[in-house]
Structure 1
Amino acid sequence: MSTDPLSDQYQPDPRRWKALAVCLVVGFMTLLDVSIVNVALPSIEKALGATSADLSWVVSGYALTFGLVLVPAGRVGDARGRKTTFLVGLTLFVLASASCGFAQGPGMLVISRLVQGVAGGILSPQVSGLIQLLFRGAERGRAFGMFAATIGISTAVGPLLGGVLIQLGGVEHGWRWVFFVNVPIGVVAFVAAMRLIPARPAETKQPLRASSFDPLGVLLLGAGVVAVMLPLVQERQWPGAGKWLLFVVAAVLVVAFVFWERHQGRRGRQQLVDLSLFSLRSYSLGCVIALVYFAGFTTVFFIYTLYVQQGLGYSALMAGLAVTPFALGSAISAKIGGDIVNRVGRRLVIAGLLLVFLGMVGTIIAAYLVPGQYVGYAAAFPLLIAGVGSGLVISPNLTLSLDEVPVSKAGIAGGVLQTGQRIGSAAGIALVGAVFFAQVASTHGDWARAFQLGLATAALLVLVALAVGLADQIAERRTAVTGS
C-alpha cells in the first residue's frame, strides 16, 4: 500500500503530455550547454583573449556548479513544489545565458557560466521530479524513456548545432549565439510552463529551512573539488610548486566533509550525501564508475574540438561534424543498453567501458597515422565505437547502481550519483586539459601530440573505471559461489 499521499490522490492531468514536452525542451537546453560550447572555445579565445585556464573554466565550471546544486535543488523542489522551483531555475538560466552572450571579457564569461551551471542544476531534478509527479505505471516508463532519449539527442546534436550557429554568426560573434539561442527558447518555455505545469497542492509543501539542505556539506565538498581543480587548471598561469599544496588542502576538506556528513547522520539531520548508501557494494562501485568514467569521456569533446580547430584549421561546423560519430553512437546504443541491462547486468557496463577504451586507443592511433587534415575521417570509426560503448555505460550503470537502493532513498541516491558525474566531468576536464595545454606549450604548438597525450590520459581514466567494474563483477561471482 502506498505511503505517498500524492500517489494515493493521483488523478491523471489532461495536460501532462504537453507539460512533459515543456520539461523535455528545458532539459534538452540545459544538457545541450554541456557540449555545445566546446566548438565555440577557439572563437572565444580569439574574441575575448581567453587563456587556456579560462577555456577550462568555461567548460568545467558549468559542470561543477551544476553538480553541486543538484541534491539541494531537489530538496527545494520537494519542499516548495516543482513548478515554482522549475520557473525560478529557468529564469536564472535565461538571464545567465544572456550574460554569457554579452560577456566582454573572459572573467565575465566564466562567472556567467558558473551561474548558468547553478541554474541547470536547479532545473535538472525538477524535470525528473515532475515526471514522477505527473505520470504513473507504464506512462511513467514511457516518459522517462523520452527523457533518456532527450539526453542522448542533446549530446549528439550539441557540437553540430554549435558549429552551425558559429558558421551563421561568423567567427567574431557567432560564439555569442551559442548562448543567446537559449533566451527565446527559455522565454517561450517559461510561458508554456506557467500554463501547463500543475502547481503542487499547498498542503503538501514543507517549511523551507537552511538546515534542510546541508549548506556546510555543500561548502566543504565544493571547496574540496575546487582545491583539486585549481592547480590543474591554473598549471600554466601559476609558476612554482607551491600550487600543488592545494591537493593537501583538498584532502583535508574532503575528510572534513565525510566527518560532517557522519555527524549529520548521527543526529538525524539532512545530509548532502547519505553515507549509509555506500554500504551497498553495487551502489558504491557504481558511483565510482560514474565519477571516473565521466572524468574520462567528457574530455573527448573538449580536446578534440580544440585540436581540429586550432591545430588543423577546421571550421566550427566541421569540428562539430568531427565529434558527431561519438555522440551518434552513444545515442543509438543507449536505448539498446536500457532494454537489455536487466538481463546482462554489470557485464554490459564492462563491455561498454572496454569499447570506449578501445575506441579511444583507436582514435589516438588514427591521429598518429593521419595527423593532417584527414584526421576527422580517420578518427570517425574509432569515435563511433567509443560512442557505442558510452551508450552501454551511462544508463545501465545508473540502473544497476540503484538496484539495491531502498525506494525511500532512491531520490537522494540518484542525486548523489548525478553529482558525482558532474564533479567527475569538472575534475576530468581540469586534469586532461592541464596535460593537453602543457603539451601544446612545451612543444610550441604541436597540437597533434597534445591531443594524443590528452586522450591517452582520458583513456587511462576509462581504464580505471573498467577495473572497478571488473572488481564488482568478481565480487558478485564470489558472493554467488559462497552464497553469502
Structure 2
Amino acid sequence: MTHDQPDPRRWKALAVSLSAGFMGLLDVSIVNVALPSMQSGLGASAGAVQWVVSGYALAFGLTLVAGGRLGDALGRRTMFLLSLGGFVLTSALAGMAADTTTLIVARLLQGACAGLLNPQNSGLIQDLFRGPERGRAFGLLGACIGVSTAVGPVLGGVIIAIFGAEQGWRWVFFVNLPIGLVALAFALRLLPADRRRPARLREEIDVVGALLLGLAVLCVLLPLVQFENDGLARFWWLFPLAVVLGWVFVRWERHTVHSGRSPLLDTRLFTDTPGYSSGAAIGAAYFCGFTGVFVVLSMFFQTGQGYTALESGLVVTPFALASALAAGLAGRAVARFGRRMTILGLCLVAAGFTVAGVLALTAPESGLGVWVALPLAVAGLGGGMVISPNTTMTLEHVRGEMAGVAGAVLQTGQRVGTAIGAALLVAAFHVVAAHAGGRAGLAVALACAVALVLLALVLAVRERRG
C-alpha cells in the first residue's frame, strides 16, 4: 500500500479500533449504576467506592495527551496493542478485586490504559482515510463517543439485573475480557504496520512537558470529580495552581520547539491549524452541557421516582439511539454542509433539553420517564450532528505527525468539560431540589445544560462567520 492508495482493510481496522475505544469510553459511565452493588459486595463506604469512578476519570484524563504523543512517535499499532492489552488485564484485576483498595488501584490503571488507547482512534482515521471517507469515519467515531456516554447506565443496569446485586458489579468489568481479547486478535491481523522506525522514548517524549500538563489537568479534574465529596471546598486552591502550571507548560513547550527537540504538544497546533482552536472550544462547551444531564436524570429517577438502574437507563436510551443514527448520517454529509450541521445540531439539543425541562415540571407523575424520553430523542438527533462533524472539521487540517496529540487534546477538553458540566448540573439539582422538590431541580439542571449548549452554539456561529 502506498500513501496514495488506501488500505483495503481500512474499514475493518476502523471497526476493531472503535470497538476497543467504545469499551474505554463506556467504562466512564457504566460503573455508576454498579456502585451500590460494590458497596454491598465489598462492605465498602460510599466515599471509597466513589473513587472507583473518580480514579478512572482522573487517570483517563491525565494520560490522553501522552497517549497521543506516544502514538505519533512510536506508532499507532504498537500503542494500540499495548494499551488494549493493558486494559484487558486491568479489567480482569478489577473484576477479581477482593477489597476496595485493590479495586481502586485496578481502576486507576484501567483508566490510564484507556487514556493511552483512545487517541489512537483519531490518529488511525487520519492515517487511513482521505476526503469524504474521513468524514464518514469520524461520523462513526462520533457515534461511538455519543452512544457510549448515554448507553453506559443501561448496560450496567442490565448486567446487575442478570448477575445480581451481590456479585453483578464484577461482571461490569469481566464483560470487557471477551470483547477485548477478540479485538486484540483482529487488531494483530488488520491494523496497518507502523511506518516509522520505533523511536527512543528519551528522544521523542517530552517528560517535563508531560509532568507539567499532567499536574495542570489533575488540578482541574480532582476538585470536580470529587465534587459530591465536598471536593470544591477542599481543593478550590488547585484551580489557580492549574493556571500557573498551564502557563509554565506553554512556555516550556515553546522553548522545547525552539531548541529543536520534540514537544509533548506543539503549541502551533492552536495557532497554525485552521479551525482547530475553535473546534476544540465548541467540543468542550458541548460536553459541559450534555453529559451532566445523564448523571442528573439517573439521580432524579432512581432517588426521587423509585426507578431501578435499568429503568432510569431506558429513559436516556432514545437519546443514544437517535445520536447513533444521526452521527452516521452527519459523517457522510459534513463535507457538504460543514459548520451549518453543527449549528443545526446544537439548536436541536437546546430545544430537546428545553422541552424536557418543561415536561419535568408539567407532565403527569405516571409515565414521567416516557414524557422526558421523547424530547431527549430530539436532543439525541442534534447531538449526533454535533460530535462527529465537529471532530471532522477540527482535525481535518491537522498534519499527520500531530494527529494523535490533536485528537488527544480534543478528548482532554471533552473530559474536562464533562467534569465541569456534571459538577455544575448536580449542584444545581441538589440546591433546587432541597427547597422546591426534585422535579424543579431537574428542570433547573436542564436549564443550565441549555445555557451551556447555547454557549457552544455561539462559538459555532462565530467560527462559521470567521
| TM-score range relative to shorter protein | 0.7 to 0.9
Amino acid at match of 1:126: Q
Corresponding residue number in structure 1 for 2:453: 462
What is the CA-CA distance between 1:327 and the residue it aligns to?
Answer: 0.8
- Answer with 158-167 or 446-455: which moved more: 446-455
Distance 1:337 1:192, change over 3 A: closer
Asked whether 1:426 is paired with 2:419, we answer yes
Instruction: Choose which of 395, 405, 413 in structure 2 pairs with 1:402.
Output: 395
**Separation in 2 of the partners of 1:292 and 1:104?**
39
Amino acid at match of 1:388: L
Corresponding residue number in structure 2 for 1:99: 93
Corresponding residue number in structure 2 for 1:479: none
Residues 60 and 425 in structure 1, CA contact (< 8 A), matched pair in contact too: no
Instruction: Choose which of 275, 285, 289 in structure 2 pairs with 1:296.
Output: 289
Partner-residue secondary structure (3-state), 1:115:
helix
Task: For 1:221-370, list aligned pairs within 5 A.
Answer: 221-235=213-227, 237-238=229-230, 243-279=235-271, 280=273, 282-370=275-363
**1:447-474 deviations in Å (ceiling 9; x for gaps):** 4444334333333322221222222234
Name stretches of at least 5 consecutive residues in structure 1 with no aligned partner.
1-5, 477-484
**Separation in 1 of the partners of 2:431 and 2:275?**
37
Corresponding residue number in structure 1 for 2:17: 23
**Separation in 1 of the partners of 2:368 and 2:211?**
43
**1:369-411 deviations in Å (ceiling 9; x for gaps):** 2474522111012211111111111111122223444556444
Task: For 1:114-153, list aligned pairs within 5 A.
Answer: 114-130=108-124, 150-151=144-145
Partner-residue secondary structure (3-state), 1:392:
helix
Corresponding residue number in structure 2 for 1:205: 197
Instruction: Choose which of 2, 8, 15 in structure 2 pairs with 1:7.
Output: 2
Corresponding residue number in structure 1 for 2:462: 471
**Separation in 2 of the partners of 1:127 and 1:50?**
37
Amino acid at match of 2:23: M
What is the CA-CA distance between 1:161 and the residue it aligns to?
Answer: 2.2
Amino acid at match of 2:2: S
**Separation in 2 of the partners of 1:358 and 1:247?**
33
Distance 1:420 1:210, change over 3 A: farther
Asked whether 1:88 is paired with 2:82, we answer yes
Amino acid at match of 1:223: L
What is the CA-CA distance between 1:131 and the residue it aligns to?
Answer: 5.5
Asked whether 1:172 is paired with 2:166, we answer yes
**1:398-445 deviations in Å (ceiling 9; x for gaps):** 2222344455644433332222222322333344344445666x55x9
**Separation in 1 of the partners of 2:364 and 2:244?**
44
**Separation in 2 of the partners of 1:351 and 1:139?**
22
Residues 60 and 430 in structure 1, CA contact (< 8 A), matched pair in contact too: no
Corresponding residue number in structure 1 for 2:209: 217
**Separation in 2 of the partners of 1:18 and 1:410?**
20
**Separation in 1 of the partners of 2:326 and 2:430?**
32
**Separation in 1 of the partners of 2:432 and 2:96?**
32
TM-score with structure 1 setting the length: 0.82
Amino acid at match of 1:268: G
Amino acid at match of 1:229: L
**1:252-293 deviations in Å (ceiling 9; x for gaps):** 222222222222232233233322232256221111111121
**Separation in 2 of the partners of 1:156 and 1:231?**
24
Amino acid at match of 1:310: T
**Separation in 1 of the partners of 2:332 and 2:228?**
46
**Separation in 1 of the partners of 2:115 and 2:446?**
28
CA-based RMSD of the aligned residues comes to: 3.5
TM-score with structure 2 setting the length: 0.85
**Separation in 1 of the partners of 2:396 and 2:215?**
31
Distance 1:449 1:213, change over 3 A: farther
Corresponding residue number in structure 2 for 1:51: 46
Amino acid at match of 2:393: L
- Answer with 95-104 or 188-197: which moved more: 188-197
- Answer with 359-368 or 126-135: which moved more: 126-135
Distance 1:463 1:402, change over 3 A: same
Corresponding residue number in structure 2 for 1:417: 410
Instruction: Choose which of 438, 444, 451 in structure 1 pairs with 2:442.
Output: 451
Report % sequence identity.
50
Amino acid at match of 1:376: G
- Answer with 206-215 or 158-167: which moved more: 206-215
Residues 349 and 469 in structure 1, CA contact (< 8 A), matched pair in contact too: yes
What is the CA-CA distance between 1:182 and the residue it aligns to?
Answer: 0.6
